[in-house]
Amino acid sequence: MFVKYLRMMVRIFVPIWLLSWVVLLPVNSVQTTGGRDGLDQFTFGNVTKRERSRYWAHLLLLYVFTGWMLFNIRKEMSDFVTERQIYLVDPEHSATAQARTVLVTGVPHKFLSERALIRLFSFLPGGVQKVWLNRYVVPSPETRS
């Protein structure tokens, strides 16, 4: 998953880097009256108030870059959900106890019986095989008074 994350970051930021240099460096530096030199001529501050129409390039690229990032994140999340589902239904994983165990906390009093919990969770695939209720809870030292 970490390698997929790194690939996604490269897939997002390399096109952003290239497009921003190809578009924004000339917008900020060519025929501007900001009077800056060196690397300062490529900055947003080199565009004067009389050349405000150049700011539209920054705004347009902001929307393009945001859409590109959201598209890539959505694609990776979709791929992740697919891979996770494939893993969860794999026979090797689904046979383990952790794949078949659910911890439910904060159960209302009306469901504090095995029969009520079995009825409540009967919609789960495969049904409910066993319910354990923790009937004696040791209070923490902060709650003892």
Query: Which one is predicted more confidently, 94 or 48?
Result: 94
Structure confidence at residue 144 (pLDDT) = 60
Instruction: Domain of residue 55: give its range.
Output: 2-95
Which has the higher per-residue pLDDT, 60 or 97? 60
With respect to residue 141, please indicate whether it lies within any of the assigned structural domains: no
Query: Average pLDDT of the chain?
Result: 85
Task: Check whether residue 60 and residue 120 sit in a common domain.
Answer: no
Does 56 reside within a domain?
yes
pLDDT confidence bin for 48, thresholds 50/70/90: confident
Checking if the pLDDT of 123 tops 70, the result is yes
Candidate from 17-21, 55-59, 93-97 with smallest mean pLDDT: 93-97
Please determine, for residue 143, whether its predicted confidence score (pLDDT) is greater than 70: no
Annotate the chain with three-state secondary structure.
Answer: CHHHHHHHHHHHHHHHHHHHHHHHHHHHHCCCCCCCCHHHHHCHHHCCHHHHHHHHHHHHHHHHHHHHHHHHHHHHHHHHHHHHHHHHCCHHHHCCHHHCCCCCCCCCHHHCCHHHHHHHCCCCCCCCCCCCCCCCCCCCCCCCC
- Structural domain contains residue 142: no
Range with the largest mean pLDDT of 23-27, 42-46, 47-51: 23-27
**Cα 96 off chain centre by:** 28
Q: Are residues 63 and 124 in the same domain?
A: no
Count of domains for the chain: 2
Q: Report the percent of the chain where pLDDT is more than 70.
A: 92
The whole-angstrom separation of Cα 11 and Cα 121 is 43
Contacts of 122 (CB under 8 A, 6+ apart): 128
Query: Cα separation of 35 and 75, whole Å?
Result: 44
* Assigned domain for 81 exists: yes
**Average pLDDT score over residue span 11-25:** 93
Q: Are 114 and 128 in contact, with CB atoms under 8 Å apart?
A: no
Do 66 and 107 share a domain, yes or no? no
51/25 same-domain check: yes
68 pLDDT band, cuts 50/70/90, is very high
Whether 121 is in a domain gets the answer: yes
pLDDT at 145: 55
Residues of the chain above pLDDT 90, percent: 32
Give CA–CA dist 47/108, Å, rounded. 64
pTM score, two decimals? 0.64
